[in-house]
Amino acid sequence: MNLKSLAEALGLSQTTVSRALNGYPEVSEATRQRVMEAAQRYSYTPNSRAKGLATGRTMMIGQVIPTTLKHEMVNPVFGDFVAGASQALSEHGYDMVFTRVPDIDESRIYREFNARRVVDGVILQGPAISDTRIPLLNEIGLPFIVHGRSSGVSEPYNWVDVNNRRSFERATQFLIDLGHRRIALLNGLDHMDFAFRRRQGYLDAHADSAIPTDPALMHSEEMTEEYGHRLAVSLLASEDPPTAFLCASMIAALGVRRAIQEAGLRMGPDVSVITHDDDLSYLKNGSDMPIFTATRSSVRQAGELLAESLVQLIKDPSVVPIQKMLEAELVVGSSTGPAPKRT
């Protein structure tokens, strides 16, 4: 059933039917009722491609996933983020489309997105430091919003981000206050902006308390459980082991916990651990008493907020840059304690 046949069935013109359906004022209430009812009865749904072709709108939001950087997609955090974002998008009638492309092609894809009019806007994930995609998208003129920020990009752009620097500064300060002096940092990949900011926070806290940092304690890699485990094992076995760990993700923290237990130590009394907690639905940090002391910020909520902002942006591209900073809370669990006295 298409517009034409519906119009014929009703004995009306396509124009009138279209107008009635889309709520234009030029059609009488009686007619509108009749049309609506018929549309219902014949279960007519407009063809979205035709509609898009005519209106220039697609009601789709794009997300490009570079192929070789497999992390994005498989990262559990991504799932929760998408859940939040698609939730919000769907409320405005938008769907989400994922395109995987080889790394090199990424810029081409954005241009194509624009040329082919395949999406109305784009979400940019995992910004690196001085991310080149931002100037690119600005130049193309495709509405977009970044999940995170990109240090080194001077031009304005829209973003939603967690205050990574502050939250890691607070976490580090918390450990310092407990007497820890050797704090290991298990950070995300070096070139990622969020990792950069977290390291800043870590360094700032040390500087504030005039505590020297040790490069041997600062690491960055893909945040897997294995990585957390491997690194904790080697650090704990080192000459001058850390008394505390600051992790960039729950998953890595699980690995750290495993290493601590294997070493015959207790998490909390013997070795302290703080992790960033994205509040993943499948990996809750305890509902009553948190297992890990953590800087918590729901990535799902970030997704919702971001999607909401993007929709608004598409509706009215003239709004000033949307820039929303979320603060992470520091929740205290049983994984931290005073630094053990040196023997």
Partner DNA sequence: TTCTTCACTCAAAGCGCTTTGAAATTCGAT
Partner DNA sequence: ATCGAATTTCAAAGCGCTTTGAGTGAAGAA
CB atoms within 10 A of CB 136: 15
For residues 48 and 67, which CB has a smaller minimum distance to DNA in the complex? 48
For residues 78 and 245, which CB has a smaller minimum distance to its own copies in the complex? 78
Q: At its nearest, how many Å lie between DNA and the CB of residue 7?
A: 7
For residues 50 and 325, which CB has a smaller minimum distance to DNA in the complex? 50
Q: At its nearest, how many Å lie between its own copies and the CB of residue 58?
A: 7
Distance from the Cα of residue 207 to its chain's centroid: 29
Q: Which does 123 bind (CB under 5 to 8 A by kind): DNA, its own copies, none?
A: none
Residue at 304: amino acid letter: E
Q: Give the Cα-Cα-Cα angle 308, 311, 312 (nearest 5 degrees).
A: 85
CA gap 29, 66 in Å, rounded? 50
Report how far apart, in Å, the C-alpha atoms of 129 and of each of 17, 18, 266 are.
Answer: 52, 48, 37
Chain residues binding its own copies by CB under 8 A are 1, 43-50, 52-53, 58, 60, 65, 67, 70-71, 73-76, 78-80, 82-83, 86-87, 89-90, 95-101, 111-112, 115-118, 223-226, 251, 254, 258, 261, 280-284, 286-287, 291, 300
CA gap 21, 188 in Å, rounded? 50
Q: Is 163 helix (H, G, I), strand (E, B) or coil?
A: coil
> What is the footprint of DNA within residues 11-40 (CB under 7 A)?
11-16, 18-19, 21-22, 26-29, 31
Q: At its nearest, how many Å lie between DNA and the CB of residue 32?
A: 8
For residues 67 and 130, which CB has a smaller minimum distance to its own copies in the complex? 67
Exactly one of 36, 37, 41, 55 binds DNA (CB under 7 A); that residue is: 55
> Are 277 and 296 a contacting pair, CB within 8 Å?
yes
Q: Which does 224 bind (CB under 5 to 8 A by kind): its own copies, DNA, none?
A: its own copies
> Are 321 and 157 a contacting pair, CB within 8 Å?
yes
Radius of gyration of the chain (CA): 25
The candidate with the shortest Cα–Cα distance to 4, out of 31, 42, 32, is: 42
CB atoms within 10 A of CB 143: 18
CA gap 247, 253 in Å, rounded? 6
Q: At its nearest, how many Å lie between its own copies and the CB of residue 147?
A: 15
> Are 222 and 191 a contacting pair, CB within 8 Å?
no
Exactly one of 8, 33, 41, 54 binds DNA (CB under 7 A); that residue is: 54
Q: Which does 283 bind (CB under 5 to 8 A by kind): DNA, its own copies, none?
A: its own copies
For residues 81 and 174, which CB has a smaller minimum distance to its own copies in the complex? 81
Q: At its nearest, how many Å lie between DNA and the CB of residue 4?
A: 6
Q: Given the rule CB under 7 A, which residues bind DNA?
A: 2-4, 11-16, 18-19, 21-22, 26-29, 31, 44-47, 50-51, 53-55
